[in-house]
Amino acid sequence: MSQSLLYHAFGVREGYEYRSTKYVEGRVEFHLTVKEESIHCPHCESQEYWRRGKRQRRINTLPIGPKQVVLVVEVPKCECRGCGKSFEHSPPLPLPTVTTAAPWLDSSAS
Ligand SMILES: [Zn+2]
């Protein structure tokens, strides 16, 4: 799987970097990280910060054939050097809606 597939099929664009694909229990997981250069403080716009760990966001997206697809996004936790506030950086992921494909998805919806 390539970054361009993620761009075109799943709407993953600005601010993210593709890392790897994993196949887990019938699921396909695309692992993404936030681009370092896109990180900035939302309070004062500073790009000077300390990293304070990270968390994972898991986002279900459109399936590929019968396989469920999950975007696993690493969200960095940061502390601004400018204003001292803590923030997380997770640019929006403009995901396509389910109605554009995959009619079988409805049957598995909860
Ligand atoms: Zn700041």
User: What is the 95 CA–ligand 1 centroid distance (Å)?
Assistant: 29
Note the pLDDT of residue 40: 92
DSSP structure string for the chain: --HHHHHHHH---TTEEEEEEEEETTEEEEEEEE-GGG---TTT----EEEEEEEEEEEEEEEETTEEEEEEEEEEEEEETTT--EEE------PPPGGGS-TTHHHH--
Q: Is the pTM of this model over 0.85?
A: no
Q: Domain extents for the chain?
A: 3-95
Note the pLDDT of residue 102: 47
Mean pLDDT (10-residue bins), the chain, 110 residues: 70 81 93 90 95 92 88 93 95 61 46
User: What is the 52 CA–ligand 1 centroid distance (Å)?
Assistant: 14
User: What is the 49 CA–ligand 1 centroid distance (Å)?
Assistant: 8
